[in-house]
Amino acid sequence: MANIVANTVWQFATASSVKFGRGCRMQLAEQLAIGRWTRPLVVTDTTVGALPAVQELIEALRSRASHLTLFDACVAEPTVDVAGQACEAGRAAQADCVIGIGGGSNLDVAKIAATVVKHGGKPSDFFGFDQIPGPVLPMFALPTTAGTGSEVSHSAVLTDTRQSIKVSSLSRWLRPTGAFVDPALTDSCPPTVTAHSGVDALVHAIEAYTNRDFSEMVDVDPQARAYEGSYPLTRLLAAEAIRLVGRSLVTAYQQPTSRTARDDMAFAAMLAGMAFSNSGVGMVHALEYPIGALTHCGHGEGNGLLLPHVMRYNLPVRIREFCDIALWLGADVAGLSQRQTAERAIEKIEELLRLVGIRTRLRELGMSRESISELAAKSFTIRRLMDVNPQTPRLSDLEDILHSAF
């Protein structure tokens, strides 16, 4: 690692507490008892709610909490309306804490419910950076995919179907009170979910590792700075996440019963979440948000498809970092120049994406070439993500990237 430069201050935050390990989900009931929370709102979806490992947990919670309310109407890539329904359920039940069980979609709806039940209003009142006035209801996050890192992150992402755009709330108050990362919950993920969510974790780690350095972020207004830029602690976390994804994503995809691979991926996703929710995701996410809202592709697949194209754009200013990534992904770089090694990182990622079945062309998602300029314009407005990208793009750069991925 490069020398530590301490002239500029960075800060780090994550969930208030983290438990990690097979079976740790069953310790949640005890945690509720310690906090004297008796009216939990459980937010999930019908697929996840039907998993034996989840039913066992909900039964245990029911036996300890006097008034458990189950909201199981979440959907993947959740809409603002679905989040509004979860808020209503929590309000009607006078919930005193919220438990999110599921992939990032359910965890994000749980965060919004914890916010609205505490502060009143509606989900859209809290969109944007730092719009939540104070602590939300205690919120516990149990991820069932190894991907988003929402269990430790400060954001919640919803889809606004009317304007066909993804909307986010980002706030220090959205970091869960407790993350219960139990890899056993991910054992049942079908290969496509494993692939998409695992690729999302990889993109989080790569963007966190390669984003602008925190010391260069002085030109971004601190009041509007949702992310710190890359710094030593986030680079450490991201590096380990990239290494673990390189080691285990393909195995988790091809051999869903491999516990070792599932454990690696659950850990990798959490580390990547710790990294990106401080240093930031970047241009890949900025480009994916409008595409995901338009085509309804999975967030991780859209990100994976775009990643090599954005890396090619960033390559001239991130040679050293891409060389690191090539090594962590186990690329054979013998005899290659630095530039060639950096390019090998991108090729290695393309190989990995192919192995886990990620589509490679935007047109395969059902998008038209004519929509590119409008999509690029929408991405261009997501300043918090453009501000941390290693190169500040012009609108035409975004259009070029989308054309190359089309």
Ligand X SMILES: NC(=O)c1ccc[n+]([C@@H]2O[C@H](COP(=O)([O-])OP(=O)(O)OC[C@H]3O[C@@H](n4cnc5c(N)ncnc54)[C@H](O)[C@@H]3O)[C@@H](O)[C@H]2O)c1
Question: Which stretches of the chain bind ligand X, using CB under 6 A?
Answer: 45, 47-48, 51, 76-77, 102-106, 108, 144-145, 147-150, 153, 155-157, 185-186, 188-189, 193, 196-197, 200, 299-300
Tokens found for residue 133: 């006035």
Which CB atom, from 31 or from 186, has the smaller least distance to ligand X? 186
CB of 157 to ligand X, least distance (A): 4
Residue of minimal Cβ distance to ligand X: 103
> From ligand X, Zn ion, none, which one binds at residue 314 (CB under 5 to 8 Å depending on kind)?
none
Tell me how crowded residue 329 is: count the other CB atoms within 10 A of its CB: 20
* Residues 388/399/290/342 CA torsion (nearest 10 deg): -50
* Dihedral sign of CA atoms 234, 239, 244, 250 in order: positive
- Applying CB under 5 A, among 72, 96, 200, 301 the residue interacting with Zn ion is 200
How many residues form the binding site for Zn ion (CB under 5 A)?
Answer: 1
DSSP alpha helix (H) spans, 28-120: 28-35, 46-49, 52-64, 80-92, 104-119
Residue of minimal Cβ distance to Zn ion: 200
CB of 291 to ligand X, least distance (A): 12
Contact 280, 231 (CB under 8 A): no
> From Zn ion, ligand X, none, which one binds at residue 344 (CB under 5 to 8 Å depending on kind)?
none
Which CB atom, from 115 or from 197, has the smaller least distance to Zn ion? 197
Which CB atom, from 155 or from 389, has the smaller least distance to ligand X? 155
Tokens found for residue 33: 């008892």
Query: How far apart, in whole angstroms, are the C-alpha atoms of residue 203 and residue 197?
Result: 10
> From ligand X, Zn ion, none, which one binds at residue 150 (CB under 5 to 8 Å depending on kind)?
ligand X
> From Zn ion, ligand X, none, which one binds at residue 112 (CB under 5 to 8 Å depending on kind)?
none
CB of 193 to ligand X, least distance (A): 4
Q: How far is CA 79 from the centre of its chain?
A: 17
Which CB atom, from 300 or from 390, has the smaller least distance to ligand X? 300
Query: How far apart, in whole angstroms, are the C-alpha atoms of residue 67 and residue 52?
Result: 22
CA-to-CA separations, 322 to 134, 314, 354, in angstroms, rounded:
39, 10, 19
CA-to-CA separations, 291 to 19, 150, 373, in angstroms, rounded:
34, 21, 12
CB of 8 to ligand X, least distance (A): 25
DSSP letter for 88, please: H
Which CB atom, from 49 or from 343, has the smaller least distance to ligand X? 49
Judged by the rule CB under 5 A, the positions of this chain that interact with Zn ion are: 200
